[in-house]
Structure 1
């Protein structure tokens, strides 16, 4: 315990010299504010955070009303540089961060007054630093810049606007169906308002292909691709683990359900490949490490919900562990790593990974007749 304390003190001394600072002015007392995996309600004198370790961080906040109810969380990701100072202001009218551009002159004035401001700045919560770093090992600055909404802010509750629902060529879908009978589901859908996020507010995740096989695939090839999703993975493999990490933290600390759904799709995709296990060995080595860290950070109440609703994490991992175990082209080191993860999850969550060679009924693929 003393070693950890000494290490924290050494880190604190270093960050006093080279840490970044976030100055957040005019924040109402009681506002929920957080950075990475730690949040609190601000006091009367709160003016920001100091001693922020250089690197990628997720800053977020929620307005709180007189009854103590919090608004949906809003956040942004920033790659803090050594000694950088980021200055923001609260807009009381919109109950959000002000869109007013802070002038260089004002930033210089705040920097000159930093000694007097220091007592109103809370230190970065060092107790979450190690855990946070493990969650974003592959989410680099270039990837984050590509994924964040054009607005710069990730919102737990997306604002929606109506749209003219169109299909591929831009014609309304209902009109395109005039030469055939509509299904009951299509009729119901036509009656519902068609909504989409306000442009620039959605996270720009990589779109996963709608089908997991080439356009000219034979029936036999379609069956093969339904068993092994390596073809789909090959189409999006660049930064796939980093994107999975970004989606996870956007859900974990940003409360974005949009991000959770994308994380879920990527986990299922990566766990549904066989051929890629040997061809993309480095990807799977990193993926196993990243996924274990994520599973251990999922809030207990949410994990219970996942388990209660057919636990897609467990079922996906059964497929992955079976493919790794039965694939002769997978090297022993990756097989050993997968087995260790399997054992740790069984010990912690009592997940049963026995009889992997027996295919679960709900995992069986649809076979296309030739």
Structure 2
């Protein structure tokens, strides 16, 4: 970095002190990661703002690397944050460091400084784009109650009393309602049995029923906003139901109502992406994918929430650039939902006549994907083969 920036960060930058970390532990901040040496004590010159501090314990005997863990922290100017390593758990300690200990470290900053690595400033501009809509409050709201984001969340088996009852029927059995239907229908005056067969569980359902019902340990799960299951307003006509399934703006509206402001949805999209990209959380990846699919499935909302979709395009463009190559290859080779929904999004913008700056951004985004990744977005004015409506011919003689 240039001298002026270095001087500014020396004065205004934050400091993260991590005491007792074993040598060769994988440690990183934001998009950079290193293996620690015996002199490591932390990071200095951290630009004010949100940062993702992450680590993985490494076994001394085998060199096995533990699943990644980390914290999201919003550093204020000149903030001095201290954490300790728990040797017994091979993890960041949950205990707060006393103010007295922190002050001693500050008083000894001259000797401590040479054990602190400088923040990798070359990633800062890109990191700001990836986190542009994540506020300190939103990061705290979405993080687990424990504060630790883990790639591998501890799962606990649900007790029998908490398991759902009557959801699946074992093969060969029936629920009481089916039995009552059979008794009623068998006693009709015609004497003909029109009883319905008891619904049998599928092989997959039987397998699922035999598996333990596992849930994350209390305080360990990421707290993402649940995407509403309601696809249309109550009392909708068949035509309205069809419209809302094709255009999921109503579902997006329901989700916006759960936020303090619409752009927090983009902040959640960024947060879930980072928990996947850096934190290695598959739950976060699934939530990111669901948000992308929802935002790409809207028509009316593009015109109503132009700022939201403006930031959506800016965000997903930089996210796709940073996505691992194997995921990018999978998107196109298997024509997965992300690729299909991006096609749908571009087609919606084309058909609904989005104009002005937003259309310019969409066109540029589409062209960049085609140029850099060779993604094919031709023929947007035509339906995909598997998206064409199915015509069912009814037999005129059918009863």
Same fold (TM over 0.5): yes
Partner of 2:89, secondary structure, is coil
Cα separation, 2, equivalents of 1:199 and 1:58: 22
1:196 aligns to what?
A: 215
- When the two chains are superposed, the root-mean-square deviation of aligned CA atoms in Å is 2.2
Q: Does 1:207 align with 2:231?
A: no
What are the equivalent positions in structure 2 for 1:345-360 lying under 5 Å apart? 345-360=369-384
Counterpart of 1:178 (choices 175, 180, 184) is 175
1:166 is displaced (CA, Å) by: 8.4
In the alignment, structure 1 residue 336 sits paired with structure 2 residue 326: no
Q: Does 1:158 align with 2:183?
A: no
Q: CA deviation at 1:167?
A: 9.2
1:64 maps to what in 2? 58
Do the aligned partners of 2:332 and 2:375 also contact (CA within 8 Å) in 1? no
Q: Measure, in 2, the Cα distance between the counterparts of 1:167 and 1:276.
A: 39
2:120 aligned with 1:125, yes or no?
yes
Equivalent residue number for residue 345 of structure 2: 320
State whether structure 2 residue 45 is matched by structure 1 residue 20: no
For structure 1, the residue ranges without an aligned partner over 5 or more in a row are none
Residues 1:82 and 2:107 aligned together:
no
Distance 1:291 1:363 in 2: 24
- Distance (whole Å) between structure 2 residues aligned to residue 366 and residue 206 of structure 1: 35
Partner secondary structure for residue 175 of structure 2: helix
Task: Write the distance in 1 (CA, Å) between the matches of 2:253 and 2:58.
Answer: 45
What CA deviation, in whole Å up to 9, does each residue of 1:154-178 have, x standing for no partner? 100111001147899x646348983
Cα distance in 1 for residues equivalent to 2:390 and 2:52: 42
Query: What is the total number of aligned residue pairs between the two structures?
Result: 360
- Give, in whole Å, the separation in 1 of the partners of 2:270 and 2:298: 19
- Which moves more between the two structures, 240-249 or 332-341? 332-341
Q: Does 1:245 align with 2:270?
A: yes
2:248 corresponds to 1:254: no
The higher radius of gyration belongs to 2
Counterparts of 2:323 and 2:7, CA distance in 1: 32
Runs of at least 4 residues of structure 1 off by over 4 A?
164-168, 174-177, 364-368
1:219, CA displacement in angstroms? 2.0
1:233-289 Cα distance to aligned partner (Å, 9 max, x none): 111123111110000111111111111000000001000101111011111111111
Structure 2 residue matching 1:34: 3-state secondary structure: strand
TM-score, normalized by length of structure 1? Answer: 0.92
State the TM-score, normalized to the length of structure 2. 0.86
Conserved? CA contact 1:75–1:155, under 8 Å? yes
